[in-house]
């Protein structure tokens, strides 16, 4: 019996260097599963024309048709049927390997280096929201102001309060900051601070020093100048080396502090702190997320970064924050 050779059929000796394009093989597997270009295209998030083009490229490579096209219906040829099991198993193995890798990456804790005040006043209170947004993501928070070497593995990413000048890193601006006078409601009443800034004379003040303080952040003298005021400041009070300690001391009724609004936001909203007078003075520094280009591709880092960006976008403007429980009721003041 004489057989007629297929003139298109090629003799192929596949090697890694001579495999057909992965996109063509993927298009074939999806089309063989659905026997429909449109549904294959939907699965691959491309157009049906692109799927058809990839199938033709694979058929040209193999030198034989893989599908019969009859009145809009697709059927696998003998060659196509022979190719399906091996390629399906191969892609299942690839998907399994990638799923296992992604799961192992997700299960590793993300190591975040962050300043102590930002950790205690902003990040920690929001971790329950992160748990809901990224179930299973473990977070290891290193609260420190020390320099962090991301390349050495000290941390996967950092959140810093700074100028944003971090060359060679992937950097996201999260949000800006401002400072405003803060104290407990009882302290404000006891020292008649509701009557205006002139009451600052003789009042114990809280001052921030240390690694978390930046030169763009006004001290009390600079804040008064920016407000166009000139009063004699008390020599009493405390000097504290963290922003969070200024907030804690104000909560404890130990003095009137210049507090960072974003860090004191929860206490201001709840009325545990008030801002008896003055306006927020913006600072040049901002809160920033930073990581390396390599670590930015890790699933755990990507999840954390996306959550941070969403939280930052959801924040109200600083002026809006200060409309809650920060000023006395004008009718009461008028009555007094």
Percent of the chain's residues with pLDDT above 90:
61
Within the chain, residue ranges assigned H as helices are: 22-34, 37-44, 48-62, 78-107, 116-118, 127-133, 185-190, 220-226, 243-251, 261-270, 299-314, 318-321, 330-335
Strand partners, 214: none
Q: What is the mean pLDDT of residues 298-319?
A: 92
Q: What is the pLDDT of residues 88-111, one digit of tens each?
A: 999 988 887 776 666 556 568 999
pLDDT for residue 6 is more than 80: no
Q: What is the largest CA-CA distance in the chain?
A: 115
Give the phi and the psi of residue 70 in degrees, each rounded to 5.
-130, 115
Q: What is the pTM of this model?
A: 0.66
How many CB atoms sit inside 10 A of residue 62's CB?
19
Specify the length of the chain in residues: 336
pLDDT for residue 129 is more than 60: yes
pLDDT at 1: 38
Angle made by CA atoms 251, 255, 261, in degrees to the nearest 5:
55
Angstrom distance (rounded) from CA 90 to CA 229 = 75
């Amino acid at each position: 019996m004489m057989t007629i050779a297929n003139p298109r059929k090629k003799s192929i000796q596949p090697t890694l260097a001579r495999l057909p394009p992965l996109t063509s093989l993927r298009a074939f597997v999806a089309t063989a599963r659905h026997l429909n270009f449109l549904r294959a295209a939907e699965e691959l998030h491309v157009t049906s024309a692109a799927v058809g083009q990839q199938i033709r490229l694979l058929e040209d490579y193999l030198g034989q048709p893989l599908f019969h096209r009859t009145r809009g219906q697709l059927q696998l040829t003998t060659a196509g049927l022979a190719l399906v099991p091996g390629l399906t198993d191969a892609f299942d193995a690839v998907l399994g390997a990638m799923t296992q890798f992604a799961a192992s990456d997700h299960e590793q804790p993300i190591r975040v280096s962050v300043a102590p005040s930002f950790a205690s006043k902003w990040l920690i209170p929001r971790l329950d929201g992160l748990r809901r947004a990224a179930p299973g993501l473990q977070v290891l928070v290193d609260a420190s102001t020390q320099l962090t070497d991301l390349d050495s593995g000290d941390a996967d990413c950092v959140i810093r309060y700074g100028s944003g000048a971090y060359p060679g890193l992937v950097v996201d601006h999260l949000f800006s900051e401002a400072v405003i006078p803060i104290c407990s409601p009882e302290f404000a009443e006891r020292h008649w601070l509701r009557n205006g800034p002139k009451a600052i004379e003789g009042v114990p003040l809280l001052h921030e020093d240390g690694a978390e303080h930046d030169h763009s952040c006004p001290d009390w003298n600079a804040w008064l100048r920016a407000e166009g005021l000139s009063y004699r400041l008390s020599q009493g009070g405390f000097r504290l080396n963290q922003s969070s300690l200024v907030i804690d001391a104000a909560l404890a009724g130990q003095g009137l502090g210049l507090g960072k609004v974003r860090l004191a936001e929860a206490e201001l909203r709840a009325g545990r702190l008030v801002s008896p007078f003055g306006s927020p003075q913006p600072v040049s520094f901002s809160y920033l997320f930073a990581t390396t280009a390599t670590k930015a591709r890790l699933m755990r880092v990507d999840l954390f970064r996306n959550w941070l960006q969403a939280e930052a976008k959801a924040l109200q403007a600083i002026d809006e924050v200060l409309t809650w429980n920060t000023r006395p009721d004008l009718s009461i003041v008028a009555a007094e």
